[in-house]
Amino acid sequence: MERRTNRWLLLALALLLSITIVRHADIGRIRHVAHNITNRLRPLYTGAHANTTLGFGAIIAVSRPGSPRREGLIRAANITEIDITIPDQPQWNAEDIANLRAAENSTLTRGSALAWLGHLNALRYFLHNTTLSTVLILEDDVDFSLHLRTHQIPLAATAMRMIASNLTVPPSPRSHKSRLQNYWGIPNTWDLLYLGHCGDIYPPESLASLPQSQVIIYPDPTLPPHSALHGKTSSQLSDLHVPEGHRLLHPSIFPLCTFAIALTRHSAQRILTQYAACEADGGTEAYDVRILEACRDPTFRCWTVNPELFHHVEAESEIATVNGGGQWSVTEADGDRREEAFNIGCGVRSLAVREGESVAEARERLRGEERCRIGGVEGDEVTQGGQRS
């Protein structure tokens, strides 16, 4: 326990001293420049575990009745001690699907339509509960790390609070409370947080074109080594010269998939009524494409944690199954079979609970297993430029 505490203290020191910000530089080579933000970060960072809803008002999962993926999600939530709500979904009918499809040149399949309707149902559930100001919406096949609540979320939230402190809060007719700092920063500074996606992939010049104060590279020793990441993720981090054991937080550029997205009440309402109420004329492949299109709107502020904190597990595609074949899997498509989801170190859904073992006992044992031990960034390994010595 003492050793784990010392490691966490070293991580806190590393975060305070070594968060780096991407500076406009040569296109094709992003240089990391140290930014002295210790005094500004100190009041924002606590080192404490996130609460059971990861700093949001609630965590809601999109899961159809009878989904075979639900049991694994609930088990993962119990092991990591997070609270997930799974709203009931109606039995969608042909009229529901017809109302979702574009009036002209629809390309939406029945399977994609059902998944889309499930997301809209989650949004309505969130908005119906007037006590909730933010929500994290998950798809029921996501995997995440055993260290999600204890390390990954506190680090990402601190980085988001840092960015929020650099941004000008837009005027709001709502109460002054909308300008106050919360766990994920000032709510008026973001509309959507991509915590789970299948890649926000872009060339280095796209990142270099963003304002310096809006791109943060921060240490996270729970991130798997680049060699263990998906090939596209690994190549991207290499192209951006991101050190091992570090993640980026930046305005979303080209994010795909909605494995785990956080929303405010205002942004959820806009998605429900403006962006994703139905398929766009000319055709829309899926719900996540409409969300990407929403993020292209400069008035809709989206941010990406990269690499992601949630990714889907290898499983049959329910959309493909509904559509009558063509089961699809990321791992099979890339010729790489693994125990856990891509980019997720110590994925909870692939961890085994022994017979007769309590959840608490399993949690403590699993944290000591080789692939779940926290390594990477230590306080004396980080130089001012964010590079490993």
Task: Average the pLDDT over 89-107 and give the result.
Answer: 91
Is the pLDDT at 97 greater than 90, yes or no? yes
Give the pLDDT of residue 253: 96
Neighbours of 212 (CB within 10 A): 15
Is the pLDDT at 176 greater than 50, yes or no? no
Is the pLDDT at 378 greater than 90, yes or no? no
Per-residue pLDDT tens over the stretch 76-88 = 999 999 999 999 9
Give the pLDDT of residue 38: 39
Q: Of the ranges 28-32, 123-127, 130-134, which one carries the lowest mean pLDDT score? A: 28-32
Neighbours of 255 (CB within 10 A): 25
Task: Indicate the domain borders of the chain.
Answer: 2-381
CB 138 within 8 A of CB 76: no
Give the pLDDT of residue 99: 93
Give the pLDDT of residue 382: 25
Instruction: Residue 89: name the closest of 110, 64, 113 by CA.
Output: 64
Which of 13-22, 133-142, 276-285 has the highest average model confidence (pLDDT)?
133-142
Give burial (CB, 10 Å; 0-12/13-18/19+) of 10: middle
Give the pLDDT of residue 167: 73
CB 319 within 8 A of CB 111: yes
Q: Please tell me whether the peptide bond between 307 and the residue prior to it is cis, using omega within 30 degrees of 0.
A: yes
d(CA 344, CA 11): 19
pLDDT band at 199 (very low <50, low <70, confident <90, very high): very high
User: Which helix (H) or strand (E) is 22 found in, with range?
Assistant: strand 20-22
> In Å, how far are 89, 154, 172, 267 from 157, measured between CA atoms?
31, 5, 23, 19
Give the pLDDT of residue 356: 87
Per-residue pLDDT tens over the stretch 105-122 = 888 999 899 999 999 999
At 5 the three-state DSSP class reads: helix
Is the pLDDT at 345 greater than 60, yes or no? yes
Is the pLDDT at 240 greater than 70, yes or no? yes
Give the pLDDT of residue 170: 53
d(CA 359, CA 356): 10
Give the pLDDT of residue 104: 86
More confident position, 376 or 210: 210
Q: Of the ranges 326-335, 343-352, 368-377, which one carries the lowest mean pLDDT score? A: 326-335
Give the pLDDT of residue 145: 95
Is the pLDDT at 60 greater than 50, yes or no? yes
Give the pLDDT of residue 231: 94
Read off the tokens for 187: 């709510």
Give the pLDDT of residue 134: 95
Give the pLDDT of residue 364: 85
Task: Average the pLDDT over 253-272 and give the result.
Answer: 96
At 208 the three-state DSSP class reads: helix
Is the pLDDT at 5 greater than 90, yes or no? no
pLDDT band at 328 (very low <50, low <70, confident <90, very high): very low
pLDDT > 90 fraction of the chain, expressed in percent and rounded: 52
CB 82 within 8 A of CB 260: no
More confident position, 389 or 52: 52
Is the pLDDT at 17 greater than 90, yes or no? no
Read off the tokens for 364: 């403590």
Task: Average the pLDDT over 180-189 and give the result.
Answer: 78
Averaged pLDDT score across all residues of the chain: 80
Give the pLDDT of residue 383: 23
Read off the tokens for 63: 């899961």
Task: Average the pLDDT over 146-159 and give the result.
Answer: 94
Which of 162-176, 250-264, 328-342, 358-372 has the highest average model confidence (pLDDT)?
250-264
Is the pLDDT at 349 greater than 50, yes or no? yes
CB 268 within 8 A of CB 126: yes
Is the pLDDT at 379 greater than 70, yes or no? no
Is the pLDDT at 37 greater than 50, yes or no? no
Give burial (CB, 10 Å; 0-12/13-18/19+) of 370: exposed
| pTM for this prediction | 0.83
